[in-house]
Structures are given as structure tokens and as C-alpha cells.
Amino acid sequence: MTEHSQFQAPFFIGVDVGGTTIKVGVVDDNGRPMSKCVVPTEPRQPVEVGMANLERCVRDAVQQSGLSMSDIHSVGLATPGTMDITGGTLLEPGNLPTWHFFPIRQHVADRLQKRTVLQNDANAAAFGEFWVGTAGDAPSVVMWTLGTGVGCGIIIHDVIIEGQHSHGGESGHLIVQMDGGRRNVNGQFGTLEAYCSATALVKRCH
């Protein structure tokens, strides 16, 4: 391992699986970034393709950081819902059509040989801002994420609101126009993400 006197061990890998890209970063115990990698998700390919992309990006990010895998304490894995957070399984994420009912937490842990924790991507983003970001002085936070879809993370006094069925912050599929609504990437009409996701905004501007 190279010298990292400005960083504080232990070191962690953060993985954000999106409907378009997989983003990976290595951070220290104070949340300071040490490296990053971005690769395509290829969500319509078999899930094994996405897992191979994920592993390649993780190992590239670790190499960029100057660390080795043996220096990594654990992995934080963030994905879109729907999901079973406690069970570590994706259920039916609309933006990952070939990843349905996939036990992703165990697959990532097995590939990387590291303890892996699964969380909803919007929850993870909200907690990141709450921990070391712009919401550090707020006792509670609600954060909207705009990407391939729309997510929402809710933090109330240090606690992520997951909900009884892991859907506590899910909001992208809320119906905001009952009749004649726009169609989202999953074929649903009138949902919130059909209007304000990044995908929808790009489509409207073309």
C-alpha cells in the first residue's frame, strides 16, 4: 500500500448501481474520496454482464486509490428499488429489467470477498449528505435523486426511513397525472419520473 497519511483508516468501497452507469469510489473513515470509476450498467444484458462490469470497476477504483483489496474493510452497495433491504435482494427495479429477484448483496460479497451492506440508492445518497455533505447541520433530511428514475431518501434523527417493506422513500412511481400522462421508461403513464427524471428531461428537450 502507498502512503496515505492524509486519510484515515479503515477504508471502504462505495458502489452505486444505476440504470445507466455503475459508479464506484473508495473513501476513508471520514468519508473523504480517494478514487472513482464509472462503467456502463448494460441493464438489458444478462445480470452476469452487470456483475462483471461492477467487479472490474471496483478493482480499478481500488488500484487508483493506491490501496489493495486487503486494505478494504467492507463494501456499501446502493441500488434502485424495489428491493428487500434486509434480505439483500433486488425485487423488481424498473430500470434493471434483467436483475429482478436477484440476491445482489451475496453475489457482490462473494465476488469481492468482502462484507457487503445493501441500501436503497436514494437512502444512501441522503445519508451521505447527512454524514459528510451539505446537510451535515440538519437534524433530518429529505433528498430527491434525479437520474434514470426518481428516488427519495429520508433521514429522521440519524435513522434512514426504510419502511416495513423497504419502500419507505419510493416515490418515482407516484401518479401525478391520472389522464393522458406521459409514459416513463417502464411503460407506466403519469408517474412522477415520467416528468422530472433526468431521462424524462432529456427526452423532452430533444
DSSP 51-105: HHHHHHHHHHHHHHHT--GGGEEEEEEEEPSSEETTTTEE---TT-TT-TT--HH
Q: Is the pLDDT of residue 1 over 70?
A: no
Specify the higher pLDDT residue, 53 or 193: 53
User: What's the full length of the chain, in residues?
Assistant: 206
Q: Check residue 191 and report its DSSP letter.
A: B
Cα–Cα dist 64/62, whole Å: 5
Q: Which residues contact 81 (CB under 8 A, 6 or more apart)?
A: 91, 93, 120, 151, 166, 167, 170
pLDDT band at 83 (very low <50, low <70, confident <90, very high): very high
Task: Name the 3-class secondary structure at 66.
Answer: coil
Q: Is the pLDDT of residue 76 over 60?
A: yes
Question: Which long-range contacts (C-beta less than 8 Å, at least 24 apart) are formed by 20-23?
Answer: 20/147, 20/148, 22/50, 22/53, 22/54, 22/57, 23/57
Q: What domains are there in the chain, each with its CATH number?
A: 11-123 (3.30.420.40), 137-205 (3.30.420.40)
Compute φ and ψ for 55, nearest 5 degrees.
-65, -40
Whether omega before 10 lies within 30 degrees of 0, making that bond cis, reads yes
- Contact status, residue 172 vs residue 197, Cβ threshold 8 Å: yes
Cα–Cα dist 162/170, whole Å: 9
pTM here is: 0.84
pLDDT band at 3 (very low <50, low <70, confident <90, very high): low
Q: Is the pLDDT of residue 92 over 60?
A: yes
Residue with cell 484515515: 8
Q: What's the angle, vertex CA 124, arms to CA 163 and CA 193, rounded to 5?
A: 75
Task: Name the 3-class secondary structure at 171.
Answer: coil
Specify the higher pLDDT residue, 186 or 99: 99
Cα–Cα dist 86/120, whole Å: 11
- The H helix count followed by the E strand count for the chain is 5, 10
Direct distance between the N- and C-terminal alpha carbons of the chain, in angstroms, rounded to an integer: 48
Q: Is the pLDDT of residue 21 over 60?
A: yes
> What pLDDT, in 10s, does the model give residues 129-176?
999 888 888 899 999 988 888 889 999 988 999 988 888 888 888 899
